[in-house]
Amino acid sequence: MTLPLGYYNENDKRVCKLKRSLYGLKQAPRKWNEKLSYALIENGFRQSLNDYSLFIKTNNDVFIAILVYVDDIVVTGNNTCEINKFKDFLKSKFQIKDLGVLKYFLGIEVIRENKNICLSQRKYTLDLLTEFGLLNCKPIYTPIEPNLKFNNDDDLNDLPLKNITEYQRLIEKLIYLTLTIPDISYSVHVLSQFMHAPKVSHLKCALRVLRYLKSAPGKGICIRKGDDTDLMCYVDSDWGTRIVAMKSVTGYCLFLNGSILTWKSKKQDCVSRSSAEAEYRALADASCEVIWILKVLNDFGKSCIIPVQIHIDNSAAIKIANPVFHEKTKHFDLDLHFVRDKINKGVIQTKKVDSAENKADIFTKGLCSFEHNKMCNLLGLKDCFGN
C-alpha cells in the first residue's frame, strides 16, 4: 500500500517515514552542514572561529584550506598530492563532482593572468543588462551624480514607483555585484535605503548604475601574488549626508600587499555632532575590520606586520584617537575608545593622508568622472576582458 506524504490514519497508526532530508525542510541545511563539518574534522581539518565557512588543515609543511558555501567547496593548498587525497576522501563520504581548476564560482569568474588572479562578474553583469533592456544602451562613466543628495520631502513631482518589486530585484542584484566591483558600493548603498518606498528618481539613479556597468562589464578586482603580509587601511566619512536621515556615511577599504581585500560603505548608526566625531566613528569601524582580518590571516598561519597603518584625512580624529583629551569627546560612546587601546598596544597606527589621495573617498560620496577613474586606479580595479 502506498501512502501519501504526511498521511496519518488513527485506525492503523501508520505514518510515512522520511529516509533522507528533502529540499525545503528547515532542518535540512543544518543537518547537511553538520554532516559535512564532522567529515572535515574527521579528516584533520579545524573550523575557523573567525569565519565558520573556512576549514584549515596543517600537517608539517602541508597546508590545505577549503571554503564552503552550502554544497559548493573551493579547495586550495601547497601540496597537490595531499589535495588529491582529500578529494578521494570526500568521494568516499559524498557524491561529489570535481570541476578541476577554479574558473567560475557563484557567478564570479576567476581569471589567471601571469601570477595574478582577477575576479570578475562579467557574465552576471551582461545578463543583468539584458534583463532590464540596457544591453545596447549608451554607457556612462560614473555610477552616481557627483555629490547627489536625496531628499524625499522636497520634490513633490517625484512620484512613487508602482512596481516596487522590479526596483527591489534590481537593487538585490546590484548588491551582489559589489562583491567584485567596489566602485559601485556607495551608489548601491544609497539606493538600498529606498527598498520599501522607492520613487521614480531612485529608479533612474539605479538605471544609471547599469549604464555605468555597460562601460566596462568585465571590470573586477585584481589580486597580486606576494610573499609579504603588508596590511594597509584607508578610511573616510561624509558628515551629515542628507540620505533619509542626517546620518554620516562611513567608508573604508583594506589592502593586502597592494591588492584590495575588503571594503565597506554604510550609514552610521547615530547622528554625529561634528565631522570629527563622524570620522572617529568611521575609524572605529575600520579598526574592527582590521582586527578581524588579522585574525583570519592568523588562521592561515600568516603574521601581519604591525602596527597596521590606517590612513585618514581628518586631523581632529587622529588627535582624539592617539589620545588627546578634548571637551568635545565627552558624549562619545565608550566602545569607540577601543581605538585608543589598540593604538597603545601597537596593533594599529593612524596616519594623516591628503583628501585627494584617500582611497576610501569613493565609498562616501559621488565623484566626477576624473576623480572616479583616479580612485578606481588607486583601488587596483581592472577590466579583465578589456584590450
Residues 50 and 182 in one domain: no
pLDDT of residue 335: 63
Residues 23 and 145 in one domain: no
Q: Would you state the cell numbers that stand for residue 90, as one nine-digit string?
A: 570526500
Which candidate, 273, 279, 290, places its Cα nearest to that of 336? 279
Q: Domain of 233: which CATH number?
A: 3.30.420.10
Cβ distance 217 to 344 under 8 Å?
no
- Other Cβ atoms within 10 Å of 306 Cβ, number: 16
Rg of the Cα trace of the chain? 24
Residues 186 and 209 in one domain: yes
Name the domain count of the chain.
3
Residues 239 and 370 in one domain: yes
Residues 30 and 128 in one domain: no
Residues 20 and 68 in one domain: yes
Domain ranges, residue 169 = 119-215
Q: State residue 216 phi and psi, 5-degree precision.
A: -155, 75
pLDDT of residue 309: 92
Which alpha helices (DSSP H) does the chain contain, by range?
Answer: 27-42, 80-93, 122-131, 164-177, 185-191, 200-215, 275-299, 315-321, 338-344, 369-379
Residues 258 and 330 in one domain: yes
Residue 256 lies in a domain: yes
pLDDT profile of the chain (387 residues), mean per 10? 46 65 68 88 91 90 89 88 91 87 89 87 94 91 84 66 91 94 93 89 93 92 81 87 72 91 89 81 91 90 85 86 63 70 88 90 90 91 76
pLDDT of residue 238: 86
pLDDT of residue 5: 45
Residues 235 and 329 in one domain: yes
Cβ distance 286 to 311 under 8 Å?
no
What are the beta bridge partners of residue 249? 238, 267
Domain end: 34, 67, 100, which one? 100
Residue 114 lies in a domain: no
What's the whole-model pTM score? 0.85
Domain end: 215, 250, 266, which one? 215
DSSP 321-352: HTT---GGGTTS-GGGGHHHHHHHTTSEEEEE
Distance CA 198, CA 200 (A): 7
Residues 233 and 257 in one domain: yes
pLDDT of residue 19: 64
pLDDT of residue 3: 41
Which candidate, 220, 218, 278, 219, places its Cα nearest to that of 248? 278
Residues 156 and 267 in one domain: no
123 three-state secondary structure: helix
Residues 350 and 241 in one domain: yes
Residue 351 lies in a domain: yes
Residue 221 lies in a domain: no
pLDDT of residue 12: 60
Residue 58 lies in a domain: yes
Distance CA 258, CA 237 (A): 22
71-83 as b/e: b if 16+ CB within 10 A: eebebebeeeeeb
Residue 112 lies in a domain: no
Residue 197 lies in a domain: yes
Q: Strand 249-256 relative to strand 231-238: parallel, antiparallel, unpaired?
A: antiparallel
